[in-house]
Amino acid sequence: MIKNHVSFQGIAGAHSEEALLLYAAKHRIPVVPEAQEGYFRELFAGIKKNKLGWVPIENSYHGTVVESVDLMREYEFEILDSYTHVINHCLAVNPGVKKSDITKAYSHPQALGQCAKYLEQSGITALPYVDTAAAARYVQDKKMKHSAAICSKRAAELYGLDVLEEWIQDSGENETTFLLVKDREHEIDFMGEIERGRRDVTTTVVFETKDLPAALYKCLGGFATNAINLKKIESRPARNDDSDWFFYLDFEGHPDDPLVRNALDELESFSKKVLVLGSY
């Protein structure tokens, strides 16, 4: 089987890489994680180049990763699968540094948000950085004595930091859901491994409503009349000249199912545009 180069956001040791490796091991898919240092725009550019990507879409405590939603609509990548990963945020410091020495902590904004109460109670100022693993590398490179990184245990080990505390996130059940995505024209050879044992199917669509009274109500009405369960809906600004909004929708079922097809037909009749991102 071919080695599949998969872009993830961050550098070696990032939670995204950790989740990708666990997912690949679970499905026995040979992957080569491709680090995309930078933010989500750099991640999606990397996916376009490598044809496969690993995208964080939602955190159980901090909510939807809206940058990913916006870029999924823009790039129109196909969703192949989803995977939920338990996040263990650690407070990591240079050797010899004690918690009482720490006044600042660097990490990705999502990680800082997930640890906000902990940082406030500890009297530590949160400072955003490009990603969790890069924050660990930065703290180590600068030999900081009064700053920590919030990162994975693996990142701390990779960059020579000591872990003072683990599981510092505010919620005991802190999970992030990732999407495995691909360029629509890219052919893959591992869908059999992914689909083996799959029972339930989720479909994701993005759509823009027509300029009609109660347009959103009418767009969603077909799902109610066809008894289709909606799992998630997110509204986002379309950022076009008309100042429109688009909607990101997850629901149970596959477009090949007659009832789902009925609901999608009704959705399309009240929408300017409907794009099915994937069924997985």
Catalytic site residue 176?
yes
Residue 36 to residues 40, 50, 53, 202: CA-CA distances in angstroms? 9, 11, 10, 28
Rg (CA), the chain: 21
Tokens matching residue 127: 């400072």
Name the pairing type of β-strands 202-209 and 245-252: antiparallel
Residue closest to 236 by CA, chosen among 81, 72, 90, 93 = 72
Across the chain, where does the E strand assignment appear? 4-9, 31-36, 52-59, 63-64, 78-86, 90-93, 104-107, 125-128, 147-151, 162-165, 175-182, 202-209, 230-237, 245-252, 271-279
- Tokens 């009405």 found at: 221
Q: Which one of the listed residues 178, 190, 223, 247 is annotated catalytic? A: 178
Q: Which one of the listed residues 8, 77, 132, 176 is annotated catalytic? A: 176
Helix (H, G, I), strand (E, B) or coil at 108: coil
Catalytic site residue 178?
yes
Contact of 235 with 69, CB cutoff 8 Å: no
The residues annotated as belonging to the active site are 176, 178
